[in-house]
Structure 1
Amino acid sequence: MTKQVAGISAQTRWLILAIIAVLALGSVTVYAVQAFGRYQARTTGASAAQITDKLHDGNRIVFRNTAMGQGYGQIASVAIAEPQGPRELSQTVCDRVDATTEYISCMRTQRGIPTTFETRILDAQANTVVEWPLPGVPSRTRISEGGLVATTAFVTGHSYATDSFSTETVIKSVQGLDFGNLEDYSIFIDGQELTAVDRNVWGVTFDSENKFYATVASAGKTWMVEGNLAERRMNSVIQNAECPSVAPDHSKVAYKKRRAQSGLAHWDIAVLDLKTQKEIILPLDQGFDDQLEWLDSQTLLFGMPRTGSAGDSDVYSVKTTANAQPQIFIKDAWSPSVVRTTG
C-alpha cells in the first residue's frame, strides 16, 4: 500500500520533486547558454581596437582587453608613451591581471557546466608557468617582482557594495611556496587582536618580499593593515581604507575610501603619506570599485565600467592633487598594471 503524506502519495511527491529538479536544471542550462551567447557576441568579429603583432617589451601597461570583437578578454599591452596606440594581445583570457617584468598573474573564469575558476601564472612571453584553482569568482590579484602572488576570490556574493560577501585571500609564490589564507593570520586592530568570525581580508599590495598591505573587514568596518609574511601577522594602519596600492617610491599608499552616505556604496580615492600620516581625499562624482595602480609617483590608474554598456570598461588616470579630475587613459581596458624595465 502506498504511504500517504499530507494527502499526497510518496510516489506523487517524488514525481513533483523530479519535475522541479528538471525545471531547475533547465533554467541553469538556459542561463548558461544565454551567458555563453553574450560572451560569443563580444568575442567575434573584427576588434574595435587597433591590434599589432609587435611585442611591447619596454615600459608598458599590461591590462585586460575589453574592446569588442576578436581578442575580447585577452591580456593586452600598450607602450606607456602611447597608451591609446596599437595594443599587442596574448591568447590568454583573464578576468583580472597583474604583471611584473618577469611574470603575469591571470585570474580566469573557465566557463562551462560547472563553471570553474583558476589562477594562471605566465612568463613575460605569456607561456604558462604554473596554475592552481580558485574557490570562487576572481576579484583581486597582485604579483611581486620576486614572484609572490596574492589572489582574492569571492566565495559568496559578487560585490563589495553589499555586506553579504565573503572572500578568500591567499598568498603563494611562483616557486611553489604557500603562505596560506590571510584570515588565519594574527590580526590586530589598534593593538587589540581581532578574533571575530566575520572577518574578511582582501586587496593585497606588496611593499617588499615580506611586507604587504591589505584590507581587513569586520562588523561593517574596514581597515588598511600592514602585514608581515614571516610573522603571519597584520596590524591596522588606518580605518575606512580598502584595496591599497603602494607607490613606486614606497612613501605613500592609495586606496578606496567609502563615502558616508545612505543608499548604494560610493568610494572616493584617498592617498596616505606613510611618514606624516596625512591623508588626501580625491572626491569622485562617479564612485569606483577597483584596486588602484600607480602610473608614476603623482598619477593613479583605475578601471571603470562604462555606464549603460555591459561588458565595456575603460582605464582612467587621475593626479594625486586637490581637485584633480579623472581622464580616460586607455579605452576598452580593465585591470591595468604598470611594468617598467627602465627608469
Structure 2
Amino acid sequence: MTDLQEEHHVPSAVRWRFLAVVTAAVVGGSVFYGVSSFQDYRERSAAAPGVALETSGPPPAGGYVMFRNTASGAGYGHIGTVPLTEPGGPRRLEDTACDRIYASAAVRSCLQTTPGVMTTFSDVVLDADGNTLDSWPLPGIPSRTRVSPDGSLIASTAFVTGHSYAGTGFSTETRITGVDGTDHGNIEDFALLVDGTRVTAADRNMWGVTFSADGDTFYATAASGNATWLVRGSLSARTLTALRDGVECPSLSPDGRRIAFKKEVSGSATPHWRVAVLELDSLEEAVLGETRSVDDQIEWLDDATVLYGLPRDGAPGDSDIWSLSLAGGEPELFLEHAWSPAIVR
C-alpha cells in the first residue's frame, strides 16, 4: 500500500460508495431508467409554470448562469439562463432539454437521455446560440460533464454496467473529446501513477474532470481498490498523476490556484459529502460550512464563492442551487428550481 493510500484508507465495505446514489437506477437497467425519467418529465412539464419566465432571445449580456431548469411547467429539464446580476429574476428557457449541462462562452455540453424500446444516452454539443455542432453516444446513464475554458475540449462521465470487478455490477467511463473531432478516448486508458508507481489494477475508475486553461492539463478523481485520489492529467502525455487521497469531483478555481471538491466524511456505507477546498500549491484543505450532503461537481461563481446543487426537500425531481463563501458563513440560496450550474462570462 502506498503512502497516499495509508493516509486516507477507506473501509472495504464502502469501496464503491461514490456510486451508491445511482444504485436503484442502474440495477433496473437503462430501459427502466429512461421510461421512468420520461414519465416524470411529462408530469412535470404538464404542471403549471413554477417560475417567472421572460420571452426568448439571446443569452443575457455581461455574464450569466446557465443551468438545468427544474421548475414545473413546459420548460422542465430545459436549458435556462439568468443574468449574474439577477439570478432570482425571470429566466430564459431554451428548447433543448438536458440531464446535465455545462458551458463556456462558445460551446455547451448537454448530456441527454432518449427513452424508447432501448433507451439511449448522448452528449450533444451546442454552440452559443443553441445550435447542434456534434453529438456522440454515451455508454450509460449521464453523470458529469465539463467544457474547457476555451471551449475546445469536452469531458463526459457516464455510469456503465457489466464490469466484472465491480461488486455492484457497474462503474464509470469518462472520455475527453475535442470539439474539432479529436477523440482523446477513455481516460481509464491513461497511465495512472501513484507515488511514481503505475497502477494497472482492472478496477480503475475515473470521473469528474475539470480543465486547466492551458489546453493540456486537467484534474479528475481516480479510484482503485479502497482508495480515491485527486489526479492531474496530461492529454499529450496520456498520464494521470496522483496528488493526494480523498478528493472527489474536483473543480478548478478561475485563477487555477484551488480545487473545490466533495469530501466523504461518514466512513460508512451511506455516504455524506462535505464541500471542501484544496490549495494546489500546499495541498492543504479546508472543509466549508455546508453541513448537508452535497453530491455534485461544484462550480465556482468567482475565486471566493462556490455553487452547488441540492435536492429540494419533499419535491422529488426538483433542486436548488446554493452559494457558499470560502471566507465562512452560512450557505445562501442562489437560484431556486435549478441544477447543474455553469458560469459564463
Q: What are the superposed Cα offsets for residues 215-238 of structure 1, whole Å, 9 maximum, x if unpaired? A: 001112111100000000010111
Residue 183 of structure 2 is aligned with which of 175, 178, 183?
178
2:305 matched residue in structure 1:
299
CA distance in 2, matches of 1:75, 1:228: 31
Residue 234 of structure 1 is aligned with which of 218, 240, 263?
240
| Deviation (angstroms), 1:281 | 1.1
Specify the SS of the correspondent of 2:39.
helix
Is the counterpart of residue 99 in structure 1 residue 98 in structure 2?
no
Residue 39 of structure 1 is aligned with which of 38, 41, 44?
41
Q: What are the superposed Cα offsets for residues 221-279 of structure 1, whole Å, 9 maximum, x if unpaired? A: 11110000000001011100011001101111111111043241001111111122221
Query: For structure 1, which segment, 75-84 or 251-260, has the greater mean C-alpha deviation from structure 2 after superposition?
Result: 251-260
| Deviation (angstroms), 1:137 | 0.3
Residue 65 of structure 2 is aligned with which of 61, 65, 84?
61
Q: Name the CA shift for 1:113/1:233 in 2 (closer, same or farther; >3 Å).
A: same
Structure exhibiting the larger radius of gyration computed from Cα positions:
1
CA distance in 2, matches of 1:290, 1:74: 19
Q: What are the superposed Cα offsets for residues 271-320 of structure 1, whole Å, 9 maximum, x if unpaired? A: 11112222111253211100000000110001111122111001110011
2:81 matched residue in structure 1:
77
Whichever residue aligns with residue 321 of structure 2, its letter is V
Q: Name the CA shift for 1:168/1:30 in 2 (closer, same or farther; >3 Å).
A: closer
1:11 matched residue in structure 2:
none
Could you state the TM-score of these two structures normalised by the residue count of structure 2? 0.85
Whichever residue aligns with residue 274 of structure 1, its letter is L
CA distance in 1, matches of 2:227, 2:205: 10
CA distance in 1, matches of 2:207, 2:233: 12
Whichever residue aligns with residue 179 of structure 1, its letter is H
Q: What are the superposed Cα offsets for residues 142-182 of structure 1, whole Å, 9 maximum, x if unpaired? A: 0112420000000039xxxx965400100001110000100
Whichever residue aligns with residue 217 of structure 1, its letter is A
CA distance in 1, matches of 2:221, 2:32: 37
2:8 matched residue in structure 1:
none
Residue 200 of structure 2 is aligned with which of 195, 201, 210?
195
1:13 matched residue in structure 2:
none
Whether contact under 8 Å (2:106, 2:127) holds in the other structure is yes
Is the counterpart of residue 166 in structure 1 residue 171 in structure 2?
yes
| Deviation (angstroms), 1:34 | 5.9
1:150 matched residue in structure 2:
155
| Deviation (angstroms), 1:45 | 3.8
Instruction: Flag structure 1 segments of 5+ consecutive residues without an equivalent.
Output: 1-27
| Deviation (angstroms), 1:327 | 1.5
- Tell me: higher relative CO, structure 1 or 2? Use CA pairs within 8 A at least 6 residues apart: 2
Is the counterpart of residue 259 in structure 1 residue 272 in structure 2?
no
Whether contact under 8 Å (2:87, 2:334) holds in the other structure is yes
CA distance in 2, matches of 1:63, 1:212: 23
CA distance in 2, matches of 1:315, 1:121: 24
Q: What is the percentage of aligned positions where both structures have the same residue?
A: 46
CA distance in 1, matches of 2:168, 2:209: 20
**Matched residue count:** 308
Residue 117 of structure 2 is aligned with which of 91, 113, 119?
113
CA distance in 2, matches of 1:163, 1:236: 25
Specify the SS of the correspondent of 2:242.
strand
Specify the SS of the correspondent of 2:43.
helix
2:92 matched residue in structure 1:
88
Whether contact under 8 Å (2:79, 2:94) holds in the other structure is yes
Whether contact under 8 Å (2:34, 2:119) holds in the other structure is no
| Deviation (angstroms), 1:73 | 0.3
Aligned-residue CA RMSD (Å): 1.9
Q: Name the CA shift for 1:239/1:32 in 2 (closer, same or farther; >3 Å).
A: closer
CA distance in 2, matches of 1:273, 1:253: 7
